[in-house]
């Protein structure tokens, strides 16, 4: 069973982890999620967790002493991998999600305000693997929502969480043939809705043509929405048909490396 500890001044943010995929994984004993209120480790009457930044500047910084006591209690004699959500961290990717899904114990330390006193990461970095991680190029008010994102991405990769019916092997960012290709559009019944028809090929029963059409749509969508991902496609994975389609889309593949 994977253990997840989350320390935050807003543990109520994690109520969604009781429902859906992650809630079921917890009921099935695949995931053990424990949320903690950081203020439980504050000593003063006001349960203070922050103070003004040395060197001046706007906002407040989370105090190291409270974090130290909280982390010591939660960690005990163990050695979880520690994740600190922050917009200045390394990018959270499907690859990092897979790496974290293989860990037995993860500890998320959620900062608010301008962040946690950096000595906390320095101190625990001597004992644990500590990563500061960002979920994208925008700024959230705190790490809580970012941790929800990461827990959902990691949780669905744990063995037994997703049924075989929708396994994670052909995710857009999973390793393999579909790597760096976005998934194309999907349809269900009825065959015509408000005058919009389902593409005929999907009703044809011709599996080869369906696969080819899906790949074309994946390439089109990747070129349109994520040209930098399209540019990163390994040219060796592109067949003649793919190259013709990319040409029709006026998409120039980057030049192939030439061996000297």
Q: Residue 2 or 134: which CB sits closer to ligand 6GU?
A: 134
44-72: b or e for each residue (b if 16 or more CB lie within 10 Å)?
Answer: eeeeebbeeeeeeeeeebbbbebbbebbe
- Are the C-beta atoms of 19 and 166 separated by less than 8 Å? no
Q: Output phi, psi for 49, to 5 deg.
A: -120, -5
- Are the C-beta atoms of 133 and 150 separated by less than 8 Å? yes
114 is catalytic: yes
Please identify which of the residues 171, 214, 215, 220 carries the catalytic annotation.
Answer: 171
Nearest in space to 231 (alpha carbons), one of 258, 255, 257, 254: 254
Please identify which of the residues 64, 69, 87, 216 carries the catalytic annotation.
Answer: 87
Q: Residue 53 or 184: which CB sits closer to ligand 6GU?
A: 53
Please identify which of the residues 26, 156, 214, 215 carries the catalytic annotation.
Answer: 156
171 is catalytic: yes
Smallest distance, Å, CB 144 to ligand 6GU? Answer: 8
Q: Residue 63 or 179: which CB sits closer to ligand 6GU?
A: 63
Smallest distance, Å, CB 3 to ligand 6GU? Answer: 21
Q: Residue 105 or 113: which CB sits closer to ligand 6GU?
A: 113
Q: Residue 139 or 165: which CB sits closer to ligand 6GU?
A: 139
- Are the C-beta atoms of 147 and 82 separated by less than 8 Å? no
Find tokens 């992650």 and name the residue: 22
Smallest distance, Å, CB 91 to ligand 6GU? Answer: 9
Give the bridge partners for 106, in sequence order: 4, 81
Q: Which residues bind ligand 6GU (CB under 6 A)?
A: 85-87, 133-136, 138-140, 142-143, 146
What's the maximum distance between 2 C-alpha atoms anywhere in the chain? 71
Smallest distance, Å, CB 82 to ligand 6GU? Answer: 14
156 is catalytic: yes
Please identify which of the residues 69, 114, 152, 183 carries the catalytic annotation.
Answer: 114
Please count the other Cβ atoms lying within 10 Å of the Cβ belonging to residue 74: 18
The residues annotated with a catalytic role in the active site are: 87, 114, 156, 171
């Amino acid at each position: 069973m994977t253990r997840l500890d989350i320390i935050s001044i807003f543990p109520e943010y994690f109520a969604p982890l009781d429902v859906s995929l992650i809630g079921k994984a917890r009921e099935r004993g695949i995931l053990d999620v424990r949320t903690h209120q950081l203020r439980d480790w504050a000593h003063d009457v006001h349960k203070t967790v922050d103070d003004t930044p040395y060197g001046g500047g706007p906002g407040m910084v989370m105090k190291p002493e409270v974090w130290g006591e909280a982390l010591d209690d939660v960690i005990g004699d163990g050695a979880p991998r520690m994740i600190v959500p922050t917009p200045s961290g390394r990018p959270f990717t499907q690859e990092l999600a897979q790496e974290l899904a293989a860990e037995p114990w993860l500890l998320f330390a959620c900062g608010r305000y301008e962040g946690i006193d950096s000595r906390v990461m320095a101190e625990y970095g001597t004992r644990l693997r500590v990563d500061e991680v960002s979920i994208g190029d925008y700024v959230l008010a705190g790490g809580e929502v970012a941790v929800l994102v990461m827990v959902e991405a990691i949780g669905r990769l744990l063995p037994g969480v997703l049924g075989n019916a929708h396994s994670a092997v052909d995710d857009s960012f999973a390793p393999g043939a579909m790597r760096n290709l976005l998934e194309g559009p999907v349809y269900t019944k009825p065959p015509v809705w408000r005058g919009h028809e389902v593409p005929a090929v999907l009703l044809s029963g011709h599996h080869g043509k369906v696969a080819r059409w899906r790949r074309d749509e994946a390439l089109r969508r990747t070129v349109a929405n994520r040209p930098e991902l399209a540019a990163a496609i390994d040219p060796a994975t592109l067949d003649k048909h793919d190259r013709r389609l990319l040409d029709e889309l006026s998409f120039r593949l980057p030049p192939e490396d030439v061996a000297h």
